[in-house]
Chain A
Amino acid sequence: MRMTFGVDEVTTDASQKNCEQWDSLRHLTLASELEEAFDLELEPEEIAEMTDFARVVAMLKSKL
């Protein structure tokens, strides 16, 4: 996540709203990298829901 957004630190309260670098394009890069890292497939609807750190974690948990 740090690499994707080019920031030094990602806190657990990070979201698309409070992180400037977390734009729609890099959101997809994040999704693609999560798919690779956890060897899973995310549906477009699921990707759209992962708007903050907690939801990303919840989504990954539901998939693993």
Chain B
Amino acid sequence: MKTFVFRNHTIEPLLGYDGMTYSGYDDISVVPREVDRYIWFYQVPVNADSAQLAEEIDSYRDKLDLVLAAADEHKPFIILSLVNLFPLTMTGNDTALSEAISAFNSHAARLSRERAGVKWVDFSAFTSRYEADVLINWKYYFMSQTLINPKLVHDFQHWWQRIEQELLYNRKKCLVLDLDNTLWGGVLGEDGIDGIQIGGDYPGKAYTYWQRALLQLSRNGVILAVCSKNNEADVQQAWEKNPAMVLKREHFSALRINWQDKATSMQELAEELNIGLDSMVFLDDNPSERELIKQMLPEVVVPDFPEKPYQLMPFFKSLVESYFRIYAVTSEDRAKTEQYQANARRNAEQARFTTMESYLYSLDIQMDVIPADEHNLPRIAQMTQKTNQFNLTTRRYAEDEVRRLLDKGWQIYCLNVSDRFGDSGITATIFIEPIDDKTASIDTLLLSCRILGKGIEEAFAKTVFNLLRLDGYRQLQAAYLPTARNGQTADFYDRMGMTLARTGGDGAKYYEMSLNDVFEINNCYNIRVL
């Protein structure tokens, strides 16, 4: 990757030499376009005349604007904030310089919100870790124009690597928490619901702050899960009855509260959430549990857990900075958290009903069957690319291929599902190929796993079959093509009442069915054909 850096001091030791080209000192006369990205990394010069310095800082703002106007707008442009490493004023009320620096930083931050590709990085997040006399090494400053102490180069590079990850939106997805002495103080099974430490004075207060911080983490798109050796009924009671509990059942996307070994539980959690073990962080106060996970599942990150409750807040900060900070939370991340939470609420609801049917009625499920059009076509193509588990034939299509099939007279529908807990969006699709006037064939049928477990797949398929019947089709063909991931759909067409016509190599199954009769659909679904 080729990076061009605008700078006014020697910063080569910090950002390195590989792939980097540096501007002259405070030189914006050359703004190359044949690069992969730009970095703006100015530092506040050393100058005892603060009024003059303030003017110079003001000029950086104009220079930044000029550079941005000349730079290739399709390339990322990273701006590091200005930090005054050597604040020097003769009078206490001389604020011109600090105001100029703030003005530059607000300007840069505003640019990052207004112009795509511009990212703002707070350099003070690095410098604030050090004392003023450590930050600058005057000997090297005068020899080489290097303001930042060369002895901090390794620290800087470590920090910068993490920033690059943040800018790429790379982070861990899921934080898995133990309960006793991790999420609260004490042991639930021994101390009881009201005996555990949460709320009130220290140490309960420290756990309250910790839980509030974790809640914010989940609001920023990190999935929380529980892995605890406990009686699940006790824990449910603690969540329901202890008024000081900040994190409750609905904040966790998945639970393993049982007595089996935690390595097995972690693997189950990864499967249930459909995420990799390498995107999970495991927290447990018990060193032997941590050791077990480190040994058995080396992909999982296992940080040491603080000994004392008053260390939880600084521990939280280091967790965020090491694993969970990203440049920005996208609306997709937020929606994901909501969807996982909606799923959790649905599960809680399910527990209250004795029959599946009364549960389904209570959900108030709305299904909109929508013919493919320009608006939903990208989503339909995306689903054929990404859906693995409930996918009968796993045929992948690009957007323009789907468009071509429509032109050839195929019938393609997608399905929008919502219920009283939220809107899951477009989460299923079916592709029908006309064979002749009376015969149609299902080329593709898939559902996102988010909406599985509510009989929606059957209701969707039957609705489309009834539509085909109204269009005059009397015979339907379908196929199941096995893959490593779609085993759960192997007998779907059998359950739909289709007849197995023949089997192919590799376990493929080909079905037929007549469309003489109307398919009855359970009326717990509100179905609209748009």
Contacts and interface: CB of A to CB of B under 8 A. Distances in A.
A47 interface: yes
A47 B143 contact: yes
Contacts of A47: 143
Nearest to B13: A29
Contacts of A16: none
A32 B150 contact: yes
Contacts of B137: 32
A8 interface: no
Nearest to B145: A25
B142 A25 contact: no
A32 B13 CA distance: 11
A25 B13 contact: yes
A29 B10 CA distance: 12
B17 interface: yes
Contact of A36 (B13, B142, B143, B151): B151
Nearest to A47: B143
A36 B151 CA distance: 8
Name the prevailing secondary structure of the B interface residues. Answer: helix
Q: Interface size class for chain A? A: 10 to 19
Given A6-B17, A44-B139, A28 B151 contact: no
Contact of A29 (B139, B142, B150): B150
Nearest to B144: A28
A24 B17 contact: no
Nearest to A43: B139
Contact of A25 (B12, B151, B153): B12
B140 interface: yes
Contacts of A43: 139
Contacts of A25: 10, 12-13, 144
Interface residues of B, number: 14
B43 interface: no
Interface in B186-227: none
Given A6-B17, A29-B13, A36-B151, A24 B144 contact: yes
Interface in B7-29: 10, 12-13, 17
B151 A32 contact: yes
Interface string B129-154: 00000000101101110100011010
Contacts of B12: 25
Nearest to B142: A44
Given A36-B151, A44-B139, A28 B146 contact: yes
Contacts of A24: 144
Contacts of B142: 44
Contacts of B151: 32, 35-36
Of B12, B140, B151, most A-chain CB atoms within 10 Å = B140
Contacts of A28: 13, 140, 143-144, 146, 150
B17 A32 contact: no
A43 B13 CA distance: 20
B10 A32 contact: no
Of A25, A36, A44, A47, most B-chain CB atoms within 10 Å = A25
Nearest to B150: A32
Interface in A3-36: 6, 24-25, 28-29, 32-33, 35-36
A25 to B, nearest CB: 6
Contacts of B153: 29, 32
Nearest to A32: B150
A26 to B, nearest CB: 8
Interface string A36-54: 1000000110010000000
10 contacts: A25-B10, A25-B12, A25-B13, A28-B13, A28-B146, A29-B13, A29-B153, A32-B150, A36-B151, A44-B143
Interface of A: 6, 24-25, 28-29, 32-33, 35-36, 43-44, 47
Given A28-B144, A47-B143, 17 more contacts: A24-B144, A25-B10, A25-B12, A25-B13, A25-B144, A28-B13, A29-B13, A29-B153, A32-B137, A32-B151, A32-B153, A33-B150, A35-B151, A36-B151, A44-B139, A44-B142, A44-B143
**A-B pairs, 6 with minimum CB distance:** A32-B150, A28-B144, A29-B13, A44-B143, A25-B12, A28-B140
